[in-house]
Structure 1
Amino acid sequence: MLSGMHEHDGPLTRLRRSHEQTVLELLRKHGPLSRAELGARSGLSRTTLHDIVAGLGSSGAVVASTPHVEVRKRGRPVEKLSLNPAAGEAVGIDFARRAVHVAAVNFAHEVIGSESEAHSADLSWPERVDIAQRLLATLATGASENPGDGGRRERPGTVHLDALSAIGVGVVGPITDPGSENAHAQGIDGLPDLLRKRFGVPVLLDNNTRLAALAEAVWGAAADSSDVLYLRLSHGVGGGLVVGGALHRGRYGLSGEFGHVTVDPAGRPCECGGNGCLETRASLDAVLFRYREAGGRADGFAGFLDAAAAGEPSALGVLERVGHDVGGVLAAVCHAVGPGVIVVGGELAETGPALLEPVERALRQQLMPLARHHVDVRRATLGEAGSALGAIALVLHESPLLSHYPQPVSEENA
């Protein structure tokens, strides 16, 4: 990080450096801010702040910009200050069950690009890291070739891999200690070290669904709420909680395991050891199983999405029943934590109102009357890049949502 240079190290110089670090940290955490916003957050006087910002601007650490003409309001445009985009970059990687997603932002909080590639569920960790490295290299070179079957991209800029300061990583399942039995069972106990050796920078590791919750609460559908329940309906079912304006991890990293709330004690066995968990009824495989039991003939999940969009009765009937199951679980969790916003994401959410309307009906029916009109159900907005963006948030610590969050796993204790 660039900073003003001083010839002496007296009390005034140390005080100035402290003020500089305060301003730099605020811009690192919150992205572009006006001078008024910086003053309110830092507590510095207008004169002191003007002097500090001028010095940081001269050194190249901070740059100023105004909104584009089309987004300006009436009156003089408000200048925003941000860290120099060239000061560094952060990368997030989401190792989902059957795909790798990567995203990158610079220190001005500008998204440089994102990439995704699908793979088989049994792919080894070194092979998954190879995919991540290749996707990041694609962002770095700005290559424009077809990403291939199962690949998606959004690339407004080019990543400079030699400017990385850290990598945030999301993985499936509870994250406690990389040396724990849980980590060994997941096969991730060597992952942070593998990534550190590949990229040569610190690695921060956490549950990918919880990181998606963080991203939606920072940049996405729930950015206006301090109490958020996020549910992802994908190959697995999980979620995350933002409680009182802070991301909640739980004592053993088990917060947000909504997929293992029991819906039917006599239901199908779940991989967790229980029976009738929500995951056995609302994961993608479970939905396809229920759809075929109902006589549906579409092949694969993409075919199911097409059938639902076309209004096929068997597909809509399954979504109605899945929505009822999901809404019941959400109601139970709402009674425990009282969120203001529920965000539903994952591939199943692509069915839109066909799923979300039954979810809302069941939720309203099962919530206490007093709570029914205080919970807003929304569809996730960040798509498959959400967990990778949440991993970047973990690196940047750009939000007060992480102010009381336990220190994530890093390569120092890997």
Structure 2
Amino acid sequence: MPHDHDGPLARLRRGHEELVLRLLRTHGPLSRGELGRLSGLSRTTLYDIVTVLVDAGAIVATPPAAAERRRGRPVDALSLHPGAGQAIGIDFARRAVHVAAVNLAHEVIGSASAPHAADLGREERVALAERLVGELAGGRLRLGALSGIGVGVVGPVGERRAQRAGTGELVAQEGEFTARAEAAGSHADLAVLLRKRFGVPVLLDNNTRLAALAEATWGAAAGVQDVLYVRLSHGVGGGLVVGGALHRGAHGLSGELGHITADPDGGPCSCGKRGCLETVASIGAVLDAHPTAADLPSFLAALPDDPDARRVLDAAGTRVGTVLAAVCNALGPEVTVLGGELAAAGPALLGPVERALSAHLMPVSRPLLDLRAAVLGEVAGALGAIALVLHESPLLTRYPAPESVE
């Protein structure tokens, strides 16, 4: 009697395989126990699925290091096979391009950055990104194995969907942007240009939101499911990770913390409103409030012995903490992460932020406050772009053949 390879049992099995692969792609290495809890599969079913995927070369089981072993049977860590594919993240920041590469076992292969003039054209920025990607891992990155590219850009990014084309590959689609139509067209053109350059699917989002996802995946809030992130840079932005997933909002406009009103009587903002947080807590606003500082490096260098610099940071940090308290009262994140170039000021900024945040939180929430400094630095947006690919790519269809597994 012939086997029904497309019957209900076969489809159920494929669904279980997809679930296991998606969990490993999203979370990175997991033990069988952790995989069982996340998947909800029975122990017998999970054992069967894992055995098939290991035999097929889709996943690998790695025993714990000698220093991590405890009494009893060693607990292997399951992960996607590193050779099953790679993902690249590119962050097109205002004045620099940052790139990073990660394999599907969540191992960072390399990262690189290069500054550029703020008015550098789009095609020149893409060429710069291509050069940096070529230099990753000493030029040994196998572009033919790429499973996708995640891209971070400055400004609002509308919803976009990824769907299978007739070839079985992903195609990025840019939906309508709800603001800045000119930027929308630029972002859509950028996705198409990158797709042509690298020949792989492209997923695109706001780079500050992606930095939030990176800090929740690899950084200061690694493993935390509900994270609020704010970045104090040339602009002020933020991101929210809810239940381990990036929150974009109904129209892709979430995370605009810089445009929450911080001073109703304040000056004009580039968004068209007045008194936004960005007008008092961006790099430009901080430098403008200091009597002599010419740039951020000189401002930070003078900070230990400069009372004016400390006064400026205290005022900016108080505004930031007050705004964050309102957001925390509404959303209740487990961890709040402070990033961006201004965060390099350390306790001189973090202290005022934490004091104002605590003062304006509901009393019941104050003991739960967990404010952390970001740790990923300028490459956070690129790493978050990779996390976007790892979180959203569908089932990988091209596993390495069993004979190629080392």
Higher deviation after alignment, 229-238 or 248-257: 248-257
Provide the C-alpha distance between the structure 1 equivalents of 2:142 and 2:277, rounded to a whole number of angstroms. Answer: 42
1:51–1:261 CA distance, 2 compared to 1 (3 A): closer
Does the 8 Å CA contact 2:235/2:258 hold for their aligned counterparts? yes
Query: 1:54 matched to which residue of 2?
Result: 51
Higher deviation after alignment, 217-226 or 231-240: 217-226
Deviation at 1:341, TM superposition (A): 1.8
1:346 aligns with 2:328: no
Deviation at 1:243, TM superposition (A): 3.8
Does the 8 Å CA contact 1:192/1:205 hold for their aligned counterparts? yes
Superposition map of 1:218-237 within 5 A: 218-237=217-236
Deviation at 1:92, TM superposition (A): 1.0
Does the 8 Å CA contact 1:28/1:398 hold for their aligned counterparts? no
1:388 aligns with 2:382: yes
Task: Give the secondary structure class of the aligned counterpart of 1:188.
Answer: helix
1:250–1:277 CA distance, 2 compared to 1 (3 A): same
1:13–1:280 CA distance, 2 compared to 1 (3 A): closer
Superposition map of 1:29-48 within 5 A: 29-48=26-45
Question: Residue 164 of structure 1 is aligned with which of 129, 132, 146?
Answer: 146
Provide the C-alpha distance between the structure 2 equivalents of 1:217 and 1:390, rounded to a whole number of angstroms. Answer: 9
Query: 1:410 matched to which residue of 2?
Result: none
1:90 aligns with 2:71: no
Q: Report how many residues are paired.
A: 374
Provide the C-alpha distance between the structure 2 equivalents of 1:377 and 1:198, rounded to a whole number of angstroms. Answer: 40
Provide the C-alpha distance between the structure 2 equivalents of 1:106 and 1:183, rounded to a whole number of angstroms. Answer: 35
1:10–1:370 CA distance, 2 compared to 1 (3 A): closer
Q: What one-letter code is carried by the residue in structure 2 that aligns with 1:393? A: A
Query: 1:300 matched to which residue of 2?
Result: 295
Deviation at 1:281, TM superposition (A): 1.2
Deviation at 1:8, TM superposition (A): 6.9
Cα displacement string for residues 62-88 of structure 1 (whole angstroms, at most 9, x for unaligned residues) = 211123233444554311111111110
Superposition map of 1:315-330 within 5 A: 315-330=309-324
Question: Residue 67 of structure 1 is aligned with which of 50, 64, 68?
Answer: 64
Query: 1:155 matched to which residue of 2?
Result: none
Deviation at 1:217, TM superposition (A): 1.9
Does the 8 Å CA contact 1:175/1:183 hold for their aligned counterparts? no
Superposition map of 1:15-414 within 5 A: 15-139=12-136, 142=138, 158-176=140-158, 178=174, 180=177, 182=179, 184-186=181-183, 187-243=186-242, 245-292=244-291, 296-297=292-293, 299-308=294-303, 310-397=304-391
Q: What one-letter code is carried by the residue in structure 2 that aligns with 1:364? A: S
Q: What one-letter code is carried by the residue in structure 2 that aligns with 1:134? A: R
Provide the C-alpha distance between the structure 1 equivalents of 2:115 and 2:67, rounded to a whole number of angstroms. Answer: 37
1:181–1:325 CA distance, 2 compared to 1 (3 A): closer
Provide the C-alpha distance between the structure 2 equivalents of 1:327 and 1:41, rounded to a whole number of angstroms. Answer: 35
Deviation at 1:261, TM superposition (A): 1.4
Provide the C-alpha distance between the structure 2 equivalents of 1:254 and 1:392, rounded to a whole number of angstroms. Answer: 20
1:16–1:268 CA distance, 2 compared to 1 (3 A): closer
Task: Give the secondary structure class of the aligned counterpart of 1:264.
Answer: coil
Task: Give the secondary structure class of the aligned counterpart of 1:378.
Answer: strand
TM-score by length of 1: 0.83
Does the 8 Å CA contact 2:283/2:342 hold for their aligned counterparts? yes
Provide the C-alpha distance between the structure 2 equivalents of 1:45 and 1:180, rounded to a whole number of angstroms. Answer: 44
Provide the C-alpha distance between the structure 2 equivalents of 1:263 and 1:325, rounded to a whole number of angstroms. Answer: 6
Instruction: Name the % identity.
Output: 63
Does the 8 Å CA contact 2:178/2:251 hold for their aligned counterparts? no
Cα displacement string for residues 314-358 of structure 1 (whole angstroms, at most 9, x for unaligned residues) = 211111111111111112222222223211000111111010001
TM-score by length of 2: 0.85
Deviation at 1:15, TM superposition (A): 4.8
1:171–1:138 CA distance, 2 compared to 1 (3 A): same
Q: What one-letter code is carried by the residue in structure 2 that aligns with 1:195? A: L
Query: 2:404 matched to which residue of 1?
Result: none
Higher deviation after alignment, 344-353 or 64-73: 64-73
Provide the C-alpha distance between the structure 2 equivalents of 1:302 and 1:72, rounded to a whole number of angstroms. Answer: 45
Unaligned runs of 5+ in 2: 160-173, 394-406
Does the 8 Å CA contact 2:237/2:256 hold for their aligned counterparts? yes
Provide the C-alpha distance between the structure 2 equivalents of 1:24 and 1:243, rounded to a whole number of angstroms. Answer: 21
Does the 8 Å CA contact 1:183/1:189 hold for their aligned counterparts? no
1:57–1:233 CA distance, 2 compared to 1 (3 A): same
Deviation at 1:197, TM superposition (A): 0.7
1:305–1:69 CA distance, 2 compared to 1 (3 A): farther
1:40–1:364 CA distance, 2 compared to 1 (3 A): closer
Task: Give the secondary structure class of the aligned counterpart of 1:271.
Answer: coil
1:233–1:311 CA distance, 2 compared to 1 (3 A): same
Deviation at 1:24, TM superposition (A): 2.4
Unaligned runs of 5+ in 1: 1-5, 144-157, 400-414
Deviation at 1:398, TM superposition (A): 7.0
Computed over aligned residues only, the root mean square deviation of the Cα atoms, in angstroms, reads: 2.4
Provide the C-alpha distance between the structure 1 equivalents of 2:21 and 2:289, rounded to a whole number of angstroms. Answer: 53
1:9 aligns with 2:8: no
